[in-house]
Amino acid sequence: MTELLVKNACVIDPLRGINGETMDIAIRDGKIVEEVSDAAEVIDARGMLTLPGGVDSHTHICGTKVNFGRYMSPEDMRAGRTPRRGAMHATSGYSVPTTYGNSYRYSVMGYTTLLEGAMAPLEARHTHEEFTYTPLQDTMANTLFDGNWAILEAIRDGDVKRVAAIIAWTLKAVKGFGVKLTNPGGTEAWQWGKNVSCIRDPVPYFEVTPAEIIRSIVEANELLHLPHSVHLHCNNLGTPGNYSCTLGSFGLIPDLNEKRQTLYATHVQFHAYGGSEWKDFCSKSEPIARFVDMRPQIVMDMGQVMFGRTTTMTADGPMEFNLYRLHHEKWSNHDVELETGSGIIPVIYRRKNLVNSIMWAIGLELALLTKSPWQCLLSTDNPNGAPFVKYPEIIGLLMSKRYRDAEFATVHPDTESRVPLPAIERELDWHEIAVMTRAGAARALGIQDLGKGHLAPGADADVAIYPLKIDEVDPSAEYQKVIDAFSRTEYTIKRGRVVARRGECLVHGSNATLWVAPKVSDGYDMGKDPDFIEKFDRYYTVRMSNYPVQEEYVTRNRRIETEAEL
Amino acid sequence: MKVTLAMKPAAKWFIPIEAESIVPKNFLSGTDLRVWRGNRELRLDEVFSVSVEGDADRAEDVEVVLSGDTFRLKRVGEYLDAGKITVLGGIGMHCGNFMSGGTIEIHGNADGWLGREMAGGTIVCRGDAADYCASGYRGGRKGMKGGTVEVFGRAGDFLAESLAGGTVIVHGDAGDMTGAEMRGGTLVVHGDCSRPAANMKDGSCYVYGTARGMIPTFKKIGTVQHDGRTLIRFSGDLANRGKGNLFVKGYEYLD
Amino acid sequence: MIVKDAVCPFCGCLCDDIEVEVEEGRVVAVTNACELGTTKFMGEKRMKNPILRVGDEWKDITYDEAVKYAADMLLAAERPLLYGWSGTHGEAQCVGVHMAELIHGVIDNTSSVCHGPSILAIQEVGHPGCTLGVVKNRADLVIYWGSNPIDAHPRHLSRYTRYAEGFFLENAFRDRKVIVVDVRKTESANIADEFIKIRPGGDYAVLSALRAIVQGKADTIPRTVAGVTREQLVRVANLCKSAKFGAVYFGLGLTMTQGKYKNIRNAIELVSELSRHTKFTISAMRGHYNVYGSNEVNTWMTGYPFGIDFSRGIAFYNPGETTAVDILARKECDAALIVGSDPAAHFPRKCLEHLAEIPVVQLDPYPNATTAFCNVQIPVAVTGIDAEGTAYRMDGVPIRTRRVLSSDYLSDEEVLARMYALMQEARER
Ligand SMILES: [Zn+2]
């Protein structure tokens, strides 16, 4: 039995309605408990800001695409190298760090749970292998279903239950967590070098539209009672005028779940563009935020862009090709048979560039204009908008109008006429930041009942203590202090152990993988479905028996069973 | 101030030594510097006999002279910004990496990556330079951005790869893929070379000898007079939508 | 006993539909595999136990002794080289990386003598690729450039291209065109619809010419380029542009000939150019069954796919300097651990001269050419036969190889983990 007592912590724990109370946190064997014995080790938090461990609900850290981003970028690798030191292995990389690099840097910022945003089922084993080497965070993987042939056929046949059954079989086989749709239909079209323009444009051969895909899969997701909702990367990412397509997609979503949203829309900054071409490109954050305000069934994340060098990587192959034609930088693409695809290019977001400046403003506007922080979570779609190490600066920007104004003065001068940002006075408070970076993310992912995102007895003892006293710092003026504090915890506690202290990671860690196994009746077990098996055998190049990810790949297996209505 | 570093003989002479600490400004505060032989950190005086004459307040007034068997000494003059380094013999890889000012003079041959990603200053190599002289780094878009590299002997393959600025002059022949991916700057080869300026985007490449294996996607523009020579001018590389200039005395296609 | 859907640990195709019949702890029959794979499964004459060279003799030693020898050797070295890795499973490769990091050594894999140039090219311009099944189901044009699948990847044609069924092809054999580009008429060229014969060393020029022609600049191209007529080049460019889905597979004929990675870069840029007109992809015909896995493991753990030098604690990458052939040829290491490869069979003599002068430990199930250079050899189980673990197919698809029979041999991972534990202990002291 190991016990730990964090004394005098200034706790903000939004899921429990605690906002800045000074209290003790008792920990036994990795869990939060009511109290511990006198033998417990004691950490005196001395009134420092103490939050549940950070939860990133959309990041790209592990798997085929991420690793290809590293593989093709030795120039990025050399931008951030550290040697092996104490419990820490060597790290490399800035925008796409090695797995250890990701894990240590996230840990130092107080993050303890990460959702990998996109995993192709066929290559799931790779994602899980990298999870093993991301030792200081619990991980889970969004599983890509945007171009899944069996699902497209079932949708064409109007059989939502079969859609659900295929999702159930696949999630279980590949040990996935949630359902991800990236440019639904577009990734399949891209395997012909084509794309879909918006939600009413049919997918070649399969003749179903993105709207039908989104609606059917949302319905199927709820039939399976998955912890997380459908996680959508809308069609048409990054094109002027795409906000109407985004609103159209949002409009498809009924409110089907009491506990959480029915749709998680990711990196909405990239989908909130007005104008008809780059020349009249402008922000449409206002209509998006207004729309979301009226619909509790939608939660989004920012997809904030920050200036500097980064690497874009998404399952959205056609979008990456368009970026390549724009920048003529190096371009990688990887289509995955019967399932999905991905693309990667390095980019530099520049202050002097009008489009980049507008993008930077839009992400902030979404967070500031959306009334409830539970509906707009903090993200950069790491590393697409910026590497996650920029989160503290984003927090600073959201909490300080003065900081925003100072930054605004350095961006392209025409930005002012294209975005509402300068007129927005709102400054987020500590509680709202806590929602956007942990409580809200945990609730959106549906993992609060698994003990994530809060500090109630029974929860995982994942705690972040930041070297800052909220009653002594005025974030509006002293934003640099806020940035510094969120960049480096005093203590990061993961499963009851101090894993990071003042920038150093202290243990190798023992992370867990969360995955979902929906229980379906025999008739909906695709593993026994003759048609499914026959097509699998004929068109995949991997045998069906070699497709599922074996137990060997799952570290500290946390299997979540759901009762499906099938 | 003149610092003389004479290489001592070593038992494991074949293990390369990395000595990026050897730049003039570091000697302003003494000679207590470290170098690495493989994975072992050594004091400068474990590897060299060190002698110092005179003193100086600024790097500009420091000259470092290297003597002995220095051909396995890597990264000398990395990030050099002022002062002078004179190498009496040959020098190992990555000499003058990232340098932005000052002078390096090598009396012998230089190994690979001489002046890699250089931004300014001058490198003179009296002997031959091996592959990737004045080039970029793996995966990088830009190679050398400024300064001058002059080689009096021959240069190896991939000379001035991705050259983006500055001047590179080779008095002897150069190897294969001379000036590949050039995007700026000026490259002059007095002798022959193979497949010059492949995939070039911009910049000027001069070959006073013969260009062997001439890339077929350059467009012949005509002849020009240059420094008393008649050269044939090409534009390209068309395959890369390039707008670079390639001037050659003679050329042969691989047809 | 018959093991179904076994995974063939021979080439980068990583065929996973093999049936292996096992009787009394021996493989007696193999179905579906090509000749190369069958030979590997049937392999015999394994080394029985670790051996140590004493003068001109070999002496049998225990695993513990062998492991200790290796650990001491690597700890004492100023620039140890850890080489090979493409013939073992990913879990062992991971231990190898941790080891290199701990002892500040250089870790490199066999890419440096096969597709290293392809990786360098990808690092310059990226890689438009796809999994093999995308080609199988869609491609109506396949180009083999400098590769001879009939010899090196025998089932590539039947599983993915020429003789494969494809979802979007009504009659795949008839509707799918195959072009072979090479310096000589290979067996693979005989089954192609079009053969392009290039003069040796002329690949780069031909690729540049094709790029220009695809852009509509045929008029500036000389009448022949490296032995290929302009007419043929124009015809081929048109074939490419009019294909619905084109796929290029290239081999060592392109990576290891003059210009090396610039050839691959040019081929990739041709494919990127064609992607403006239609769907095109390009991929390397990776050799060893898990060479790509070694690149993957190295990349997520160190940031670089091969040739990683930890001498200074941080990872440094510079192929041509930090790669095994270069290090050995320049005598820049003082000990070597060889795992899952046989450098003595492939490396230039200059490299072997140095290998003969330094202490060498090899992990390999069989006596091989490198054995002659070893101070110690440690026999291990064969991944895919009596050990299991992860391998990455040439297109990046990870597959878990199966154990088809059990033996007393330790796996590479187990032996390396013991070595690593000893080293950690020594370093903590
Ligand atoms: Zn994303």
The full set of domain ranges for chain B reads 109-253
Q: Is the preceding omega at residue A531 within 30 degrees of 0, hence cis?
A: no
- Number of domains into which chain A is organized: 1
Residues within 8 A of A (CB atoms), C 98-137 only: 98, 101-102, 119, 122-134, 136-137
* Strand ranges (E), chain B: 2-7, 17-18, 34-37, 40-43, 48-53, 63-67, 73-74, 84-87, 103-106, 122-125, 148-151, 167-170, 183-189, 193-194, 202-214, 219-226, 229-236, 244-253
Contact C162, C153 (CB under 8 A): no
**B202 in contact with chain A, both atoms CB, cutoff 8 A:** no
Residue A402: both structure tokens together: 């003065």
The backbone torsions φ and ψ at residue C86, rounded to the nearest 5 degrees and listed phi first, read -80, -15
Q: Is residue A220 part of a domain?
A: yes
Residue type, B129: A
Q: Which of A90, A330, A344 sits opposite C314 (nearest CB)?
A: A90
Q: What spacing in Å lies between the alpha carbon of A58 and ligand 1's midpoint?
A: 6
Which residues on neighbouring strands pair with residue C177, listed in sequence order?
A: C141
The backbone torsions φ and ψ at residue C374, rounded to the nearest 5 degrees and listed phi first, read -85, 150
Per the listing, tokens 């724990």 go with A13
Sign of CA dihedral B234, B237, B242, B248: negative
Three-state SS at C180: strand
Residues within 8 A of A (CB atoms), C 199-228 only: none
All residues of chain C having their beta carbon less than 8 Å from the beta carbon of residue B180 are 262
Contact C123, C305 (CB under 8 A): no
**Number of helical H runs and strand E runs in chain B:** 1, 18
| Best mutation target, C13, C124, C300, C388, to test chain A (most A CBs within 10 A) | C300
Residue C60: both structure tokens together: 């049998």
The 3-state secondary structure of A162-187, one letter per residue: HHHHHHHHHHHHHCCCEEEEECCCHH
A452/A461 Cα distance (integer angstroms): 9
The backbone torsions φ and ψ at residue B122, rounded to the nearest 5 degrees and listed phi first, read -135, 135
Which pTM does this prediction carry? 0.96
**A72 in contact with chain B, both atoms CB, cutoff 8 A:** yes
Which residues on neighbouring strands pair with residue C248, listed in sequence order?
A: C143, C282
Q: Does the domain at residues C46-114+289-428 carry the CATH identifier 3.40.50.740?
A: yes
Q: Which of C202, C262, C312 sits opposite B254 (nearest CB)?
A: C202
Residue type, A304: Q
Q: Do A81 and C315 touch (CB under 8 A)?
A: yes
A126/A136 Cα distance (integer angstroms): 18
All residues of chain C having their beta carbon less than 8 Å from the beta carbon of residue A125 are 390, 398-400
Q: Provide ipTM, 2 decimals.
A: 0.96
A313/A542 Cα distance (integer angstroms): 25
- Hey, where are the domains in chain C? 46-114+289-428, 116-284
- C-alpha distances (whole Å) from A182 to each of A69, A117, B189 are 18, 10, 52
**Alpha-helical regions (H) of A118-242:** 124-132, 149-156, 160-174, 186-190, 210-223
Per the listing, tokens 């290891």 go with C256
Contact B179, B236 (CB under 8 A): no
Residue type, A298: I
Q: Is residue A312 part of a domain?
A: yes
All residues of chain A having their beta carbon less than 8 Å from the beta carbon of residue B139 are 72-75
A335/A121 Cα distance (integer angstroms): 12
Per the listing, tokens 């059989």 go with A159
Distance from the Cα of C57 to chain A's closest Cα (Å) equals 40
Contact C40, C8 (CB under 8 A): yes
Contact A104, A88 (CB under 8 A): yes
Q: Which of B176, B181, B253 sits opposite C258 (nearest CB)?
A: B176
- C-alpha distances (whole Å) from C80 to each of A329, A445, C73 are 37, 47, 9
Which numeric CATH code is attached to C116-284?
A: 3.40.228.10
Contact A471, A12 (CB under 8 A): no
**A329 in contact with chain B, both atoms CB, cutoff 8 A:** yes
Distance from the Cα of B160 to chain C's closest Cα (Å) equals 14
Report the 10 Å Cβ neighbour count for A57.
Answer: 31
Per the listing, tokens 């026994």 go with A528
Host domain of residue A376: 51-128+139-458+462-505
Residues within 8 A of A (CB atoms), C 247-286 only: 272, 275-276, 278-281
pLDDT tens per residue, chain A (566 residues)? Answer: 899 999 999 999 999 999 999 999 999 999 999 999 999 999 999 999 999 999 999 999 999 999 999 999 999 999 989 999 999 999 999 999 999 999 999 999 999 999 999 999 999 999 999 999 999 999 999 999 999 999 999 999 999 999 999 999 999 999 999 999 999 999 999 999 999 989 999 999 999 999 999 999 999 999 999 999 999 999 999 999 999 999 999 999 999 999 999 999 999 999 999 999 999 999 999 999 999 999 999 999 999 999 999 998 887 877 777 877 777 788 999 999 999 998 998 999 999 999 999 999 999 999 999 999 999 999 999 999 999 999 999 999 999 999 999 999 999 999 999 999 999 999 999 999 999 999 999 999 999 999 999 999 999 999 999 999 999 999 999 999 999 999 999 999 999 999 999 999 999 887 999 999 999 999 999 999 999 999 999 999 999 999 999 999 998 889 999 998 98
Q: Is residue A537 part of a domain?
A: no
Q: What spacing in Å lies between the alpha carbon of A233 and ligand 1's midpoint?
A: 7
Distance from the Cα of C254 to chain B's closest Cα (Å) equals 16
Q: What spacing in Å lies between the alpha carbon of C151 and ligand 1's midpoint?
A: 42
Q: Give the residue numbers in B contacting C (CB under 8 Å), as ranges.
A: 12, 14-16, 18, 36-40, 72, 93, 112-113, 131-132, 137-139, 176-177, 180-181, 195, 198-199, 213, 215-217, 219, 237-241, 253-255
Contacts (Cβ under 8 Å, ≥6 apart) of A363: A269, A302, A303, A304, A305, A380, A385, A394
Q: Which of B138, B198, B253 sits opposite C222 (nearest CB)?
A: B253
Per the listing, tokens 């065929």 go with C15
User: Please, what is the end-to-end C-alpha distance for chain B in angstroms?
Assistant: 58
Q: What spacing in Å lies between the alpha carbon of A180 and ligand 1's midpoint?
A: 10
Q: What spacing in Å lies between the alpha carbon of A102 and ligand 1's midpoint?
A: 16
Q: Is residue A226 part of a domain?
A: yes
